[in-house]
Structure 1
Amino acid sequence: MAGFFDKAILSETPDPLTITAGSPADDLTSHPAPADSADSEQRTGKRVREAAQELLKYGLLEENQKPNLYRTALTSSAQIADILEPLDLCMGIDEIRGLLFIRVRQDELAEEDEWSHPLVRRQRLNLEQSLLVAILRQHFIAYEQESGTGASQALIAVDDLIPQLQVYLGDPGSESKERTRVINLLDQLKAHGLVSAPDAHERVIIRPIIAHLASPANLQALLIWLREQLNRRLPAAEQTSDEFREERE
Structure 2
Amino acid sequence: MEQEPDIFDRMAAQAAGVEASPLLSKEELPALSAKAFEAQNPSQTPSNVRQALQFLLAHGWLESAVKPKLFGLVAAHTTLLDALLEPLDLRVVVDDVRGLAFLAVVPGYAGDDTDESEQDDWTHPLMKRQRLTLEQSLLLALLRREFLQREQESGTGAVVRVTVDSLLPQLETYLGSTGSDMQERKRLGQLLENLRTHGMVTEVDAQDCITIRPMIVHLLNPENLQTLLLRLREVAEQGSAAKPEGTP
TM-score by length of 1: 0.74
Contact 1:132 1:165 in 2 (8 A): yes
Q: Which residue is equivalent to 1:201?
A: 207
Contact 2:168 2:188 in 1 (8 A): yes
CA RMSD of aligned residues (A): 3.1
Q: Which residue is equivalent to 2:103?
A: 102
- Structure 2 unmatched ranges of 5 or more: 1-22
CA distance, structure 2, for counterparts of residue 182 and residue 40 of structure 1: 55
CA distance, structure 2, for counterparts of residue 183 and residue 73 of structure 1: 34
- Structure 1 unmatched ranges of 5 or more: 1-21, 243-249
Q: 1:217 to 1:122 in 2, by over 3 A?
A: closer
Report the CA distance between 1:39 and its aligned residue.
9.4
CA distance, structure 1, for counterparts of residue 130 and residue 246 of structure 2: 38
Q: 1:218 to 1:122 in 2, by over 3 A?
A: closer
Contact 2:74 2:81 in 1 (8 A): yes
* 2:185 is equivalent to residue 184 of structure 1: no
> Bigger radius of gyration, 1 or 2?
1
The within-5 A match list for 1:148-227 is: 148-151=155-158, 153-223=159-229, 225-226=231-232
* 2:158 is equivalent to residue 137 of structure 1: no
Q: Give the partner amino acid of 2:160.
A: A
CA distance, structure 1, for counterparts of residue 143 and residue 40 of structure 2: 48
Paired-residue identity, %: 44
User: SS at 1:52's partner residue?
Assistant: helix
CA distance, structure 2, for counterparts of residue 38 and residue 68 of structure 1: 30
Matched residue pairs, number?
212
Q: Which moved more, 1:52-61 or 1:115-124?
A: 115-124
| Structure with the bigger percentage of helix | 1
CA distance, structure 2, for counterparts of residue 230 and residue 164 of structure 1: 17
Q: 2:127 aligns with which of 101, 120, 128?
A: 120
1:65-102 per-residue CA deviation (whole Å, 9 max, x = no partner) reads 10011111111222211221110100011101111111
Q: 1:237 to 1:64 in 2, by over 3 A?
A: same
